A = this chain, B = another copy of it.
């Protein structure tokens, strides 16, 4: 990568926004996730595999991956917030995992206990062996980095070596790639932590072969009848132009694509990723930064098809968007990717978990008629540990560094420690972001040092300004969306950013039929929504006239800045009168909007992100002839 992310272990988060969420994550979500894995039988699967059992497996074929993701999440948390009890539970589970591993390194309880080892690697399309392996590798890297223990890393490398012996271009190795990408980016991490280049090469093998319609061959489907979109296997990887198929698979795949392009300098691969990104963000992404319109394929349909009530926008897909966009930001240094990262983080992703850390959304619609609520766990439990691992490692998304510079992508009170040009530099950040756009950064190198501090000017922000030591830097160059302060920094130099945060009224490209004639409210990085419990009229009947003014309003739910203004609703729920009549006057309605991420944390009811600027027509009842 051109830039390196500053590891989350070097980042402090001490704000009123994220710190409580991370606290709930650590105290509530993480222990609960381990409990749930025990309850749901995922851990029992490991015991059965260790015992050589051939029946009793429970859950989906990818049940192991939920265990690995939960371990990854706990490991991140242990790295910043040591917790002996959690660490003990992790060690226990790791021991179960190690016990379940086959002598040849193979490890997959679904195959070991249920499907049968003879059939391993025979259905890469559907059965998630490589996907589970990937999550094992990510967990192992996290655990090793957090604790220095090699227990899980050894399981991982043993399995990786086994996989490497099976797949590849060398004589005796075979073609294949995972139905659900994941192992590719995990192998890159495993390579980085072990220095074992074979792992990177295997990741590259899986990436560059994608699209050769391997799944058609695996299942005896004639190529001309094969529709590989669901698995992003429809076209040779270098020819991909639009984002298609299962959204999480796509996000993980293109993350790995950027990893491979960064290491190999493969410009064609990078161009493909940017092309697909253009398609994604200009045609197939929700205003909340999430992706995946359809429950049918848990993924994409067509350009501009972004239904709200039936939006899928899986929480995992928002995580995938963060991963992919961070990588694009690091390789290009362009803030437009960090903009999308921020958008997905604060909105599509963060809605995925309740404020108390106890309940999760798998599916994140942008409108609800009142029946959609977070749940404690899921039979397909991919989303909860994806939430917990992201919150636990959140700081890793905030800063980046190169030899000559530092980049601030997310504004979070706390700070970071980094090395720039051989100097240790501390950034101490004071801000009430995302509620307020004033950001004070104290720059403290060990000694005076020349480097460029890159401060992201969010794409949503107009009129950003920056001061150094109290003086307005009116000529600060704006490069790739960053204010660049390239100077000799002395300990204690004070930088002040001002990112004005008026309430924004957002419109959608008119080709998004669902949002035509509608507005969404936003402030700073947050997209807002309106819930029934804040209105005197059903949110389904609400309109926000184009001229409605909204301002930041009183706080709710312990510190959430609301937006208040006036809406309108139709005076009559039902059309009365003949074919034409004098239009009923509209009734003003006081409106309070809350951030989208915070919805469904109070009384259940309807919710909308996109609000029409005129009230929906009254209902009509069929009259007798």
Q: Find out whether the CB atom of B519 lies under 8 angstroms from the CB atom of A517.
A: no
Tell me the A605-624 residues at the B interface (CB within 8 Å): 613-614, 617-620, 623
Q: Is A581 an interface residue (CB 8 A)?
A: yes
Q: Find out whether the CB atom of B281 lies under 8 angstroms from the CB atom of A582.
A: no
A420 CB contacts on chain B under 8 angstroms: none
Q: Is A546 an interface residue (CB 8 A)?
A: yes
Most buried by B among A287, A504, A516, A580: A580
CA distance A285 to B568 in the complex (A): 30
Q: Find out whether the CB atom of A282 lies under 8 angstroms from the CB atom of B509.
A: no
* Residue in B242, B279, B547, B579 whose beta carbon sits within 8 Å of that of A283 in the complex: B579
Q: Find out whether the CB atom of B579 lies under 8 angstroms from the CB atom of A281.
A: yes
Q: Is A506 an interface residue (CB 8 A)?
A: yes
Q: Find out whether the CB atom of A511 lies under 8 angstroms from the CB atom of B620.
A: yes
Q: Is A422 an interface residue (CB 8 A)?
A: no
Q: Find out whether the CB atom of B579 lies under 8 angstroms from the CB atom of A617.
A: no
A507 CB contacts on chain B under 8 angstroms: 580-584
Q: Find out whether the CB atom of A279 lies under 8 angstroms from the CB atom of B625.
A: yes
Contact mask A530-561 → B, CB, 8 Å, 1/0? 00000000000000011100000000000000
* Residue in B506, B617, B619 whose beta carbon sits within 8 Å of that of A581 in the complex: B506
Q: Find out whether the CB atom of A575 lies under 8 angstroms from the CB atom of B285.
A: no
A568 CB contacts on chain B under 8 angstroms: 546
CA distance A623 to B625 in the complex (A): 50
Q: Find out whether the CB atom of B517 lies under 8 angstroms from the CB atom of A282.
A: no
CA distance A242 to B624 in the complex (A): 12
A300 to chain B, nearest CB (A): 14
Q: Is A48 an interface residue (CB 8 A)?
A: no
A370 CB contacts on chain B under 8 angstroms: none
Q: Find out whether the CB atom of B241 lies under 8 angstroms from the CB atom of A504.
A: no
A273 to chain B, nearest CB (A): 14
CB-nearest residue of chain B to A241: B625
A285 CB contacts on chain B under 8 angstroms: 579
Q: Is A510 an interface residue (CB 8 A)?
A: yes
Contact mask A337-380 → B, CB, 8 Å, 1/0? 00000000000000000000000000000000000000000000
CA distance A583 to B510 in the complex (A): 11
Q: Is A470 an interface residue (CB 8 A)?
A: no
* Residue in B242, B578, B579, B582 whose beta carbon sits within 8 Å of that of A625 in the complex: B242
* Residue in B509, B575, B586, B625 whose beta carbon sits within 8 Å of that of A275 in the complex: B625
CB-nearest residue of chain B to A515: B580
A511 CB contacts on chain B under 8 angstroms: 620
Q: Is A505 an interface residue (CB 8 A)?
A: yes
Q: Is A512 an interface residue (CB 8 A)?
A: yes
Tell me the A270-311 residues at the B interface (CB within 8 Å): 275, 278-279, 281-283, 285, 287
Q: Is A3 an interface residue (CB 8 A)?
A: no
A545 CB contacts on chain B under 8 angstroms: 545-547
CA distance A545 to B281 in the complex (A): 32
Q: Find out whether the CB atom of B586 lies under 8 angstroms from the CB atom of A546.
A: yes
Q: Find out whether the CB atom of A575 lies under 8 angstroms from the CB atom of B510.
A: yes
Copies in the assembly, this chain: 2
A124 to chain B, nearest CB (A): 30
Q: Is A449 an interface residue (CB 8 A)?
A: no
CA distance A282 to B511 in the complex (A): 34
A387 to chain B, nearest CB (A): 24
Q: Is A464 an interface residue (CB 8 A)?
A: no
A32 CB contacts on chain B under 8 angstroms: none
Q: Find out whether the CB atom of B516 lies under 8 angstroms from the CB atom of A281.
A: no
CA distance A460 to B625 in the complex (A): 24
CA distance A625 to B284 in the complex (A): 13
Q: Is A508 an interface residue (CB 8 A)?
A: yes
Contact mask A579-611 → B, CB, 8 Å, 1/0? 111111010000000000000000000000000
Q: Find out whether the CB atom of B579 lies under 8 angstroms from the CB atom of A509.
A: yes
A580 CB contacts on chain B under 8 angstroms: 287, 506-509, 520
Q: Find out whether the CB atom of A583 lies under 8 angstroms from the CB atom of B281.
A: no
A457 to chain B, nearest CB (A): 15
A290 to chain B, nearest CB (A): 12
Q: Find out whether the CB atom of A578 lies under 8 angstroms from the CB atom of B510.
A: no
* Residue in B242, B512, B519, B620 whose beta carbon sits within 8 Å of that of A579 in the complex: B512
CA distance A282 to B620 in the complex (A): 13
A584 CB contacts on chain B under 8 angstroms: 507
A529 to chain B, nearest CB (A): 15
CB-nearest residue of chain B to A279: B625
CB-nearest residue of chain B to A577: B509
A293 to chain B, nearest CB (A): 13
User: CB within 8 Å of B: which residues of A?
Assistant: 241-242, 275, 278-279, 281-283, 285, 287, 460, 504-512, 516-517, 519-520, 545-547, 568, 575, 578-584, 586, 613-614, 617-620, 623, 625
- 13 more contacts with CB within 8 A, not counting A504-B582, A517-B517, are A275-B625, A278-B625, A282-B578, A282-B579, A283-B579, A287-B580, A506-B581, A509-B578, A509-B620, A510-B618, A510-B619, A613-B613, A613-B614
**10 closest residue pairs by CB, A with B:** A510-B617, A507-B583, A505-B583, A287-B580, A613-B614, A504-B582, A282-B579, A509-B579, A506-B580, A511-B620
10 A–B pairs (Cβ distance < 8 Å), ordered by A = A241-B625, A506-B582, A507-B580, A508-B579, A509-B580, A510-B575, A517-B614, A519-B583, A520-B580, A546-B586
